[in-house]
Amino acid sequence: MMFSKCFAGVAAFLLLGAALFGGVKDAKNVEAEVQRLLSRMTLDEKLAMIHGCGFNIAPVKRLGILPVNMSDASMGLRITPWPHSKGLEPSTAFPATILLAATWEPDMAAEFAKAVAEEFRARNMHVLLGPGVNIYRYPLCGRNYEYMGEDPFLSASMVVPYVQAVLNVGVLPVVKHFVANNSENRRKNSNSVVSERALREIYFPAFKAAVQKGNTLGIMNAYNLLNGTYCGENKWLLKDVLRKEWGFKGMVVSDWDSLWNSELAANSGVDIEMPGGKQTRVMAPKVMKRLLAEGKLSEKEIDAKVADLIRPSLMLGLYDENWKKPELNKLEEHAKVALDTARRGITLLKNADAFLPLEPEKVERIVVIGPNARNTPTTGAGSGGVRPENPVSIWDAVRKIYGDKAELLDNFDGDKIKAADAVLVCVGFNTGLKIRDFRKKKKGDSISSEQAGFNKRKFEKVKEGEGCDRKSFALPKGQPELIAKCAEANPNTVVMVTAGGGIDMIPWLHKVKAILWMYYPGQNGCLAAAEILAGTVNPSGKLPFTMDRTLEDNAAYADFHLQWSDPKPKKKAGIRTYQDVVYKEGIFLGYRHYDKTGKKPLFPFGFGLSYTTFKYSNLKLENDGDAVKVSFTIENTGERDGAETAQLYVGDVEASVPRPPKELKGFKKVFLKAGESKKVEITLDKDAFAFWHPEKRKWVVEPGAFDILVGASSEDIRLKAQTKK
């Protein structure tokens, strides 16, 4: 019953996209067409299809099955080295997905995803390999910037509209990386040892929501092992949970070179091995034929894989000759989406003495300095990389707003810094895609000398990206020293940080006036940051993760420290050796960990400052069967228009198992003019009160009292009440 309802829901949902973009017109006939094509395919054609072909799903042209092109995405269309993407013009470089999560706006996620998908369709890219929804567990994970933060409810709430918007454009999203891929160091040699309760409550929800509410048609397995079995070879994960429990009817794509055991992979539920190509790979045709001959694989299993690949393509019309829609290449419109996302997600972490905003008419001189001033990274490294269209650096943006009042220093100059009204120190991680990588040379220009700036000096280069966790919690060598030196010369120092995960701020936190957390802002995000500095945009971004005070305070510190310090994996799975990474914290990570231990983070989950103030009042609860309707009022009590993200947490007062003191179960971002107030209503369904019972192996709501907490962050609770279940 679950399967039929899910499939019917997907079919109905896609009719809108089909009508708008020319996909399958009659979704009811999709399954009949799948079976018709299967019956006409030869075994060799089937085996070629499940083997992959670079970044393509192999075609069967005699049957009208055309090549299906894939490309990495989250921050936009990535330029890959594969043949089908050669010669492509630049794409819009959108902000990092973690910045998108910092908007706390599901509608923004839909607008963002629609724009990304339109560029895919304009460039004949059928499959968007994203978004990533792995949980932010540890600040040094290289791909935190590609994900949606530490909280499963926030991630689930943002991924659903993202996936729906991509589907409505007629592009196939592949949500990744399923599951517990929470570090990049030795990602192919790492066994995530996770309790089922932690999986169900923390690491599964975003994927489950993408399947059951977003109706995604693609999932990508993770590189790592899960409890002793590689995710791409894990039948419990891909068949029992994903397909049988959740009703998933799309395709499971292997991450590139993530399969090792041919028999396990062939029977696990993964549908296509990427990138394919070599006949010695795990699911190569000759290997599959051998398994068929040995009775270790059935042709029925092969047919199921091929059906899973064909079905989504038919539903979205990917085999149509006219699927490509060049008119969707709306670079100017998409650049505005990228800018708006950054405006709503960039997060103000400190603003001592209300130093910001720096209104242009009230300042005489602003100094800009630091390795990321001229050469601001648009994104982290790896699969999130995008070749941007007309990128803007911090220096470009500040100069645009402040004109001749702004001065760029490539070297520390104490006299100039002391004389400035404000000093902007631009720091962060600097080996992703940078502005200078995409600037077009003009006759007579010397980009290497003019654009390099501080990057030519002796600043440590630290990569934050795919396949590479950071080794240190600190900023790269030279940057903390620069911040301290500037702050000593001029206390009116503002630090602008480009990073995907938390950093050590203790050495300089109390020496500076303000901190603007830019994440990776995309091609136009620096302009958004400058607008926030000037006050033409009121900051409203809030952290989608907890900023640790020290690395040792983080719940997962011991695991990651072991990964870096232990030189060799200890165990063996087939031809691979691996190392256990034990998730000892269970469900208690991020703010759940801090609430449990009583420690104070540097900045709490959900935190972000504004140039105005908000008052919460009039909390009311109304029981409606299993649901609880929560209402309250927010008033803008300041002198500027602004937006506030109200966060609704639920805490089980007394439970039979350890539970966090509170968990996010609702939120709403409210835009208010100065002096305006609005009533906010959020409904908590039964799931908001449930936990996964480790012995009963099911979701349980125990009778008793529950705290209903409303606040501006996980630590700034403004209203509290109780309800009974």
Q: Say if residue 293 is exposed, middle or buried (CB neighbours under 10 Å; 0-12, 13-18, 19+).
A: exposed
Instruction: Name every residue whose Cβ is closer than 8 Å to that of residue 379 and which is 6 or more positions away in sequence.
Output: 75, 93, 96, 145, 385, 386, 432, 433, 520, 522
Instruction: Name every residue whose Cβ is closer than 8 Å to that of residue 92 and which is 6 or more positions away in sequence.
Output: 76, 115, 116, 119, 331, 334, 335, 337, 338, 386, 388, 389, 522, 523
394: Cα within 13 Å, side-chain hemisphere = 35
Residue 338, SS3? helix
Residue 474, SS3? coil
Distances (CA, A) of 51 to 48, 219, 315, 595: 5, 17, 22, 47
Contact 567, 189 (CB under 8 A): no
- CA-to-CA distance for 463 and 540, rounded, in angstroms? 28
- CA-to-CA distance for 394 and 396, rounded, in angstroms? 5
Bridge partner residues of 717 (DSSP): 711
Residue with tokens 């019309």: 317
The number of helices, as runs of H, and strands, as runs of E, in the chain is 20, 27
Instruction: Name every residue whose Cβ is closer than 8 Å to that of residue 456 and which is 6 or more positions away in sequence.
Output: 449
Report which residue type is found at 40: R
DSSP strands (E only) in 68-136: 68-72, 127-129
DSSP state of 336: H
Residue 648 neighbours by CB distance under 10 Å: 23
DSSP state of 603: B
Length of the chain: 725
Residue with tokens 């989608």: 544
Contact 497, 518 (CB under 8 A): yes
CA dihedral 467, 472, 474, 480 (to 10 degrees): -90
Give how far the C-alpha of residue 346 lies from the chain's centroid of Cα atoms, to the nearest Å: 15
Q: Say if residue 471 is exposed, middle or buried (CB neighbours under 10 Å; 0-12, 13-18, 19+).
A: exposed
Residue with tokens 């019972």: 693
240 is catalytic: no
Q: Say if residue 251 is exposed, middle or buried (CB neighbours under 10 Å; 0-12, 13-18, 19+).
A: buried
Instruction: Name every residue whose Cβ is closer than 8 Å to that of residue 344 and which is 6 or more positions away in sequence.
Output: 103, 105, 108, 540, 541, 643
- Radius of gyration in angstroms for the set of CA atoms belonging to the chain, rounded to a whole number: 25
Pairing of strands 627-636, 614-624: antiparallel
The two most distant CA atoms of the chain are separated, in Å, by 80
Residue 12 neighbours by CB distance under 10 Å: 12
Contact 60, 47 (CB under 8 A): no
Q: Which helix (H) or strand (E) holds 672?
A: strand 663-672
- CA-to-CA distance for 325 and 315, rounded, in angstroms? 17
Question: Is residue 360 reached through a cis peptide bond, with omega within 30 degrees of 0 on the bond before it?
Answer: no
Identify the active-site residue in 72, 151, 255, 559: 255
- CA-to-CA distance for 555 and 597, rounded, in angstroms? 10
Active site residues: 255
